[in-house]
Amino acid sequence: MKVLITGIDGYSGWPLALHLLSRGHDVVGVDNFVTRRRVREVGSWSATPIPSFAQRQSLVNQLLGKELPFHRGDLGRYDFVARVLEEERPDAIVHLAEQRSAPYSMIDVHHAVTTQVDNVVGTLHLVYAMRDHCPDAHLVKMGTMGEYGTPNVDIPEGFFEIEYRGRQDRLPFPRQAGSWYHWSKVFDSGDVMFASKIFDLRATDVMQGVIYGIRTAEMTDRRLLTRFDFDETWGTALNRFIAQAVLGLPITPYGKGEQIRGFIALEDSVQSLRLAVEHPADRGEYRVFNQFDAAYSVNQLAETTHQIATELGLSPRIEHPPDPRIEAEQHYYAPIHERLYALGYQRTRELSEVVREMFTDLLRYRRRLEARRHVVMPTIGWRRADNPAALNARVAASSAPPSAEPPPPVQDR
Ligand code: USQ
């Protein structure tokens, strides 16, 4: 199959490209490198050194013997999106090119607006360009488990049967997102559901849990590693905890730490996206997959991190800062996740195994973590008004300009 990945340069997009290429698919990439710029904006960088995209293309060529065509551009420009789809006519589009950070969207009004405009407009441009240039293609859209929030009932995969005042229907399950970012995904879901109906498109909305991990089986060379964010804005819970333990900073489950989320290893996340691609939805069908392996509280993840860090001779400690978010710190959580398993999905990575692997990799990149330790602890609050000032101060304090990133290391295995 020919698969177009928007956001191919990102944390998930790059491993997905490698995985699909290794499974014999053709991959075409699209990206505008905005994540690299926005991570610099908050004074941070990836713990793993990331080669330029041109270098990534030659590595794919050299190590996998594959071509990786690429279009640099912004999904906010319809002429660009239409031209790429007309030229490439892919069988599937995996749409990952969205602003993906909840804290980033909560910095101030401008970050809230840019998140929602980028995400909603990019998706709308894609569905219109699909209608006009590749109406038979399958859109695999990255949604998020966070769209549902934490209701006090089980969470179905997108839709549920309801009886109300004596009548029954199958309706979209209510959304109760917890950040401007998560709300942008809710709006996207509505738009994709509607587009599949009016344009007769094939669409899968993947409600993804929090991803953790640093590498996949295809990363046989250190230069093929994906980016790894650990700062308060771009790093996610478990990835941050391990970076904190390596740095000797406190591991930070927020508030009571009983917030439960669905989690999935990076490797299994790309496996499930491949399965979605290889089993397309029907024309006019909008389907929803809840994509995670297991639900953990952030306390459980902090304890696992603490235990493995101790085994490795580090001296970790757990602290509970006040939760900077407005979210339930203790709640019921039972989402259903069956549809991917029905397509053959199997969990391949155990939590503790991936945590150990992350420690090994991050200890190797300890100096890069050290250079950005000042951006790890939380400062962005869901209610605070002084966020831009705090952010600007931190960027100014950043110890080295982005151009000082060392070149990618040479092959090590
Ligand atoms: N958390 C901590 N301590 C930290 C960081 C986070 O306790 O140092 C807590 C948060 O308060 C939250 C939970 O961990 O309750 C998850 O936070 P997160 O930052 O790991 O993830 P989140 O902001 O929800 O967003 C991430 C990705 C997003 C994706 C989403 C899936 O950034 O792109 O959509 O995970 S989900 O969480 O299922 O919505």
Q: Mind listing the pLDDT tens digit for each residue in 261-318?
A: 999 999 999 999 999 999 999 999 999 999 999 999 999 999 999 999 999 999 999 9
pLDDT at 406: 43
Q: Which atom of ligand 1 is nearest to the CA of 207?
A: 38
Which pTM was predicted? 0.94
What's the token pair of residue 264? 């999935």
Q: Residue for token digits 């999935």?
A: 264
298 lines ligand 1 (CB under 6 A): yes
Residue 139 has pLDDT above 80, yes or no: yes
Dihedral angle, C-alpha 8, 113, 252, 300, nearest 10 °: -60
Annotate 163-204 with three-state secondary structure: EECCEEEEEECCCCCCCHHHHHHHHHHHHHHHHHHHCCCEEE
Q: How far is CA 94 from each of CA 15, 30, 272, 375, rounded to the nearest angstrom? A: 13, 10, 12, 31
pLDDT at 124: 98
pLDDT at 387: 60
Average pLDDT over residues 135-150: 98
The span from the CA of 168 to the CA of 200, in Å, is 26
CATH number of residue 181's parent domain:
3.40.50.720
Give the chain's mean pLDDT: 94
- Could you tell me the pLDDT band of residue 330, with boundaries at 50, 70 and 90? very high
Average pLDDT over residues 367-372: 98
Look at residue 413 and tell me if it is in a domain.
no
User: Which member of 48, 115, 144, 216 is catalytic?
Assistant: 144
- Could you tell me the pLDDT band of residue 354, with boundaries at 50, 70 and 90? very high
Q: Is 181 a catalytic residue?
A: yes
Q: Is 185 a catalytic residue?
A: yes
Cβ atoms of 138 and 202 closer than 8 Å: yes
pLDDT, tens only, 388-407: 666 666 666 654 444 334 44
Query: Which of 105, 298, 317 for a ligand 1 pocket mutation test, highest count of atoms within 8 Å of Cβ?
Result: 298
Number of domains in the chain: 1
Look at residue 405 and tell me if it is in a domain.
no
Look at residue 404 and tell me if it is in a domain.
no
Look at residue 136 and tell me if it is in a domain.
yes
Cβ atoms of 339 and 216 closer than 8 Å: no
CB-based contacts of 18, cutoff 8 Å, min separation 6 = 60, 64, 216, 218, 219, 224
pLDDT at 257: 98
Look at residue 403 and tell me if it is in a domain.
no
Tell me the residue range of the domain where 336 lies. Answer: 2-398
Look at residue 210 and tell me if it is in a domain.
yes
Look at residue 74 and tell me if it is in a domain.
yes
pLDDT, tens only, 76-114: 999 999 999 999 999 999 999 999 999 999 999 999 999
pLDDT at 393: 66
- The angle subtended at Cα 293 by Cα 282 and Cα 186, nearest 5°, is 55
Q: How far is CA 125 from each of CA 120, 130, 195, 214, rounded to the nearest angstrom? A: 9, 9, 11, 31
The span from the CA of 9 to the CA of 110, in Å, is 24
Return the percentage of the chain with pLDDT > 70, whole number. Answer: 93
Nearest alpha-carbon partner for 267 in 223, 304, 213, 224: 213
Q: How far is the CA of 80 from the centre of ligand 1 (A)?
A: 32
Average pLDDT over residues 368-391: 84
pLDDT, tens only, 162-220: 999 999 999 999 999 999 999 999 999 999 999 999 999 999 999 999 999 999 999 99
Q: Is 296 a catalytic residue?
A: no
The span from the CA of 39 to the CA of 375, in Å, is 11
Cβ atoms of 293 and 268 closer than 8 Å: yes
The span from the CA of 22 to the CA of 80, in Å, is 28
Name the residue with higher pLDDT: 408 or 53.
53
Query: Which of 144, 252, 330, 376 for a ligand 1 pocket mutation test, highest count of atoms within 8 Å of Cβ?
Result: 144
Q: How far is the CA of 54 from the centre of ligand 1 (A)?
A: 31
pLDDT, tens only, 50-86: 999 999 999 999 999 999 999 999 999 999 999 999 9
Nearest alpha-carbon partner for 181 in 113, 264, 79: 113
Question: What residue's CA is closest to ligand 1, atom 35?
Answer: 210
Q: Residue for token digits 């304090």?
A: 397
Look at residue 263 and tell me if it is in a domain.
yes
CB-based contacts of 176, cutoff 8 Å, min separation 6 = 148, 149, 150, 151
100 lines ligand 1 (CB under 6 A): yes
Residue type, 29: G
